[in-house]
Amino acid sequence: MSEPDEDFAAMFEASLKAKRFAKGQTLEGTIVAIGREVAFVSVGGKGEATIDLGELKDDNGSLEVAVGDRIQAVVVSTVGGLTLSRRLARGAATARQLEDAFHTGLPVEGKVERAVKGGYEVRIARQCAFCPFSQIDTVRTDPSAHEGHVYQFRIIEYKEGGRNLVVSRRALLEEEQRASAAEVRRSIVPGAVMTGRVTSVREFGAFVDLGGGVQGLLHVSEMGWSRVSDTSQVVKPGDEITVKVLRVDDDKQKISLGLKQLTADPWSRVHETYEIGQVRTGRVTRLADFGAFVELEPGVEALAHASTFAPTGRSNGWSSALAPEMTGAFEILSIDLEKKRIGVALLPEGSARAGGTAPSQPGIVPGARLTGKVERHEKFGVFVFLAPGRTGLIPLRETGVAKEADIVRAFPIGADVEVVVLEVDAAGRRIRLSAKAVLDAHEAEEVREYTERADAGPSEGFGSLADKLRGALKPREK
Residue 83 has a pLDDT of: 85
CA distance 32 to 43: 10
**What's the rounded Cα separation, in Å, for the pair 17 and 20?**
5
Mean pLDDT, residues 165-194 taken together: 85
Please state the φ and ψ torsions of residue 391, each to the nearest 5 degrees: -125, 135
CB–CB of 121/128 below 8 Å? yes
User: In whole numbers, what is the pLDDT of the chain averaged over residues?
Assistant: 80
Q: Is the pLDDT of residue 16 over 70?
A: no
| pLDDT at residue 465, rounded to an integer | 46
| 319-361 pLDDT, tens digit each | 777 888 888 888 888 899 888 899 888 887 755 555 554 454 4
How much is the average pLDDT of 293-302?
Answer: 90
pLDDT score for 90: 46
For the segment 199-224, the average pLDDT, to the nearest whole number, is 89
CA distance 145 to 141: 7
Average pLDDT over residues 218-234: 88
| pLDDT value at 131 more than 90 | yes
pLDDT tens across 263-281, in order? 888 888 898 889 888 888 8
pLDDT band, very low/low/confident/very high, at 257 (cuts 50, 70, 90): very high
CA 91-95-99 angle, 5° bins = 115
Higher-confidence residue of 96 and 30: namely: 30
381-387 vs 127-132, strand pairing mode: unpaired
Residue 125 reports pLDDT greater than 90: no
**Where does the pLDDT of residue 478 fall: very low under 50, low under 70, confident under 90, or very high at 90 and above?**
very low
What average pLDDT does this structure show over 62-66? 87
With CA atoms as reference, report the closest residue to 325 among 389, 282, 373.
Answer: 282
Least confident among 119-128, 187-196, 269-278, 454-463: 454-463
Indicate whether 388 pLDDT > 80: no
Question: What are the start-end ranges of the H helices in 75-169?
Answer: 95-104
The two most distant CA atoms of the chain are separated, in Å, by 184
3 state DSSP class of 248: strand
List the end-to-end C-alpha distance of the chain, in Å, as a whole number: 182
Mean local confidence (pLDDT), 286-302: 89
